[in-house]
Every structure is written in C-alpha cells, then in structure tokens.
Amino acid sequence: MSTWLDVPADHPFGIQTLPYGVFATTDDPERRRVGVRIGDLVLDASAVAALGGDPGDGPHLAAAWAHPSLNPFLALGPDAWATARWWLTEILTDDVHRAGVEPHLHALDRVVLHLPVEVADYVDFYASEDHASNVGQIFRPDNAALPPNWKHLPIGYHGRSGTVVVSGTDVVRPTGQRKGPADPVPVFGPSIRLDIEAELGYVVGGATELGTRVSVDDAARHLFGIVLLNDWSARDLQAWEYVPLGPFLGKSFATSISAWVTPLAALGGARVPLPGQSDPAILPYLEGDAFGLDVHLEVSINGTVVSRPEHSGMYWSPAQMLAHMTVNGASLRDGDLFGSGTISGPSKDSRGSLLELTWNGTEPLTLADGSTRGFLEDGDTVTITAWAPGPDGTRVGISEVTGTITPAR
Ligand SMILES: O=C(O)/C=C/C(=O)CC(=O)CC(=O)O
Ligand SMILES: [Ca+2]
Ligand SMILES: [Mg+2]
C-alpha cells in the first residue's frame, strides 16, 4: 500500500499509522479540530470529509471531526472507526483524491497540537510484574514483593482526569507533605523525589450503560487507541500519604500523554500472546482474547537514553483491564483513559521509573553531560518515544510524550 504523498516508505508515520489528534494552525490558533498525521503533515480531517463525493463515507464523519476533541468520534463506536480508517486510507492512496485533499494538508511545524481527548475518567493500573515487585521491595521491604491479590486481578486506582496534559506542557514541581524516616514530624515543601513512569495509555470509546459489563472478548470494541503516558510521581509525597487508600496527591498534579492517538487498528501486527497466567489460574471473567502489544519504548532525560522498556512483557492486558474495570457494572464513558502501569522489564536498563533505575536514589544515573540523577531536577526534560511492528516490515510510530520540570510555585 502506498500513498500519493511524498512520504518515504519507512516513515514511522506513513500510511500504516494514521494517528488522530487535535490541532489548530498557527495562523488561526482558536479553531481546534481533529487532524490525522501522515508523514510530517496534518490532514484537516473534517474539512476533507465535508467535501463529500466518492468514496462517499466522509460526510457523516465531518461533523464528529469538526470538534476540538476526539470525544464525538469516540462516541461513534468501532464500526465508524473502521469506516473512517478505510476512508482515510482510500483518499490518501488513490490519487484521484489528490486535488481535493492537498489544500487541507498542513505542515506539522505550522500547527499547534492540543490535548486530543477530553479525558472522562482516568484509571492507572499496575500491570508489570517486574515493576510491581521492584516497588514492593523498595516501599515494603518487610513484605512479599508482590501483594497477594496481584496475580488474581489487575490492580488499579482512580486518578485525576482534569490534570492530564498534552505532550510539551511544562510540569510544575509539586509541593506537599513528606516524612522521611529521620523526620519526627511531616515536612512541607516542594517534592525532592520527583519521578517519571513510562506507560501506555488506552483511549476508550463506545460508552456503556451503568450496570452492564464488558467481557475480555468485547473489550477491543471499546479500545480505540493508545498514547504514550508519563505518570509523573512525587515519591516522597506518595510514600507518606498512600496507606491505606493508595496514590493521591503524589500522582494527581500532572499526567502527560502524547498529542497523537494511535488507533488499535494500526497495531494488528503488534498483537502478541501474554507472557502467561497459569499459576495461579485466573477467574473466568478475565479470560478471552486478551492480546498483548509488542511496543518498544525509549525513555530519555535531557537527550540521554536511560531505559528501553518493552510493553510485550506486561502480565495483564488492556482487554483484561477493561473487563475488570467494568465487572462491577461501572459504565464506560467516551474519552475514558486508562494507563498500563509503569512498564519495566527484568533488566536494569528496561525499568520504567527512576525509583527503580536508581533504586530509590541510592544508585544515581549519569547523563551524557556528566551530571548525575537520583530523581528529577528543575529544568529536566523527559521524553518517551515508541514504535510497534507494522505490516510488511514497516514500523508504526507511537507519538512521543515529553515534558519539562519547572520550579515549584
Ligand atoms: O506499589 C506502590 O505502592 C506504588 C506503585 C506505584 O507508584 C506505581 C503506580 O502508579 C502504578 C504503576 O504505574 O504501575
Ligand atoms: Ca503509574
Ligand atoms: Mg499522574
């Protein structure tokens, strides 16, 4: 499959990828609408859909895509998502559409990208066995590395959807309470253990009714796509506040996601079996087509690569997380977002947080400029990139998530 556009066949954002985002042009910054990335261009999707004509499926999508978020498109559900992808592929591959489409392509460096989704509910899971056992050893050295429920259910917590920000947004160092072992009483001030968590975020559509549940087999009908997600975490605030109700202010100050949502439909070639869940056996409601995803991540701080986590090693799959999230009858909303949890592998250079990479700051990392880090300093820029295998030996680019730490206010 090839496009009439001048995009190299090995471009990670070629015709095999086609992620969705929300953009405005620098000339007209107030008019936000849905765009589709192809190469280093952004297609104004609603403008092209509104042209109508052959192949004829565009017009009903034009209205959904004219909005400043993907939510109305997410609400249309999986059949419309499939039609849309087919239609976009058609207009970008058959050059009969070239004259109509070309005026609606904008250079990536002439647009501003916005938060792609108005995030409804945000949940973060804890699905990497290596991450969970590392954090268990660090935070709870007197207990077993994994909690007793860990292999029976995908553990998660509800986060703060209103502080999910788009890639490129600065992150203000959070302030709060901490109490180290040597402090007789809690201390108030800016976090001194500010960390990252490299994760995938799953974007949900096709809202469901309260009281119903979604099976593992049906989950893919609600999983629209993925983003890269950085769950910024203040480890000192977290360690003091989290017993017994779990993460709260230590993680709610900001969560960054990529500007482009990669549709699950682009990741057919990345589906892999899960590493294995036979011991202990899982309950039947968590069984089904629980595919894993072979996504390769790279985490860098100020340009130095510090880790290469592999999503394929995750114990729990997104379909199982979605089934678990709704097993009690909780409804799904268009724009729900859930995180995979920190992606860590067995080797030291595949850990997805500084907490693990530096073993709670005791084994600092050295960056290319010779400076060392236990945790993040003001001015540090953290960037996560990723790719997944696509059709015919191509790579599907997963758009980066980046953010810079600014001083506490
Ligand atoms: O085990 C803990 O007490 C804390 C774990 C985390 O901070 C990780 C978390 O947010 C879930 C995850 O990203 O895996
Ligand atoms: Ca997390
Ligand atoms: Mg967060």
pTM exceeds cut of 0.95: yes
Are the beta carbons of 19 and 225 closer than 8 angstroms?
yes
Cβ proximity of 13 and 266 under 8 Å? no
Give the separation between CA 215 and CA 150, rounded to whole angstroms: 20
Tens of pLDDT along 95-112?
999 999 999 999 999 999
Cα separation, 192 vs 235, in Å, equals 8
Q: Which residue has the tokens 């009483």?
A: 185
Mean pLDDT value across residues 353-381: 98
pLDDT at 60 over 80: no
Give the pLDDT of residue 56: 56
Q: Which two tokens stand for residue 4?
A: 């009439």
CATH architecture observed for domain 122-406:
Alpha-Beta Complex (3.90)
Q: What is the pLDDT of residues 16-31, one digit of tens each?
A: 999 999 999 999 999 9
Distance CA 260, CA 25 (A): 16
More confident residue, 59 or 376: 376
Mean pLDDT, to the nearest integer, of 75-87?
94
Q: Which atom of ligand 1 is nearest to the CA of 355?
A: 7
Asked whether the predicted pLDDT for residue 347 surpasses 80, the reply is yes
Q: Which residues surround ligand 2, an ion (CB under 5 A)?
A: 124, 197, 231
The pLDDT value given to residue 52: 76
* Nearest Cα residue to atom 12 of ligand 1: 341
Q: End-to-end distance of the chain based on CA atoms, in angstroms?
A: 51
What length does the chain have? 409
Residue 5 has pLDDT above 80, yes or no: yes
Residues annotated within a binding site for Mg(2+): 231, 251, 255
- What ranges do the domains of the chain cover? 20-114, 122-406
- Extract the tokens encoding 139: 């935070």
* Residue bearing tokens 């403008």: 47
Asked whether 20 and 260 are in contact (CB, 8 A), the reply is: yes
Residues of the chain with pLDDT > 70: what percent?
Answer: 98
Q: What is the mean pLDDT of the chain?
A: 96
Specify whether the CB–CB gap between 275 and 313 falls below 8 A. Answer: yes
Cβ neighbours of residue 103 closer than 8 Å, sequence gap 6 or more? none
What's the DSSP call for residue 95? Answer: G
165-216, pLDDT tens digit by residue? Answer: 999 999 999 999 999 989 999 999 999 999 999 999 999 999 999 999 999 9
- In this predicted model, what pLDDT tens digit does every residue of 217-274 receive, in sequence order? 999 999 999 999 999 999 999 999 999 999 999 999 999 999 999 999 999 999 999 9
Instruction: Return the exposure string of 213-235: e unless at least 16 CB atoms fall within 10 Å of the residue's CB, then b.
Output: bbbbebbbbbbbbbbbbbbbbbb
Residue 58 has pLDDT above 70, yes or no: no
Q: Which residue has a Cα nearest atom 13 of ligand 1?
A: 341
Query: Which residue from 267, 340, 384 is spatially nearest to 18, judged by alpha carbons?
Result: 267
Distance 351 CA to ligand 3 centre (A): 18
122, 125, 131, 135, best to mutate for ligand 1 pocket (most atoms within 8 Å of CB)? 135
131 is a catalytic site residue:
yes
**Of the options 2.30.30.230, 2.40.30.10, 3.40.50.150, 1.20.120.50, the CATH number for the domain spanning 20-114:** 2.30.30.230
Burial of 268 (0-12, 13-18, 19+ CB in 10 A): middle
Quote the CA–CA distance of 362 and 365 in Å, as a whole number: 10
Helix (H) or strand (E) holding 330: none
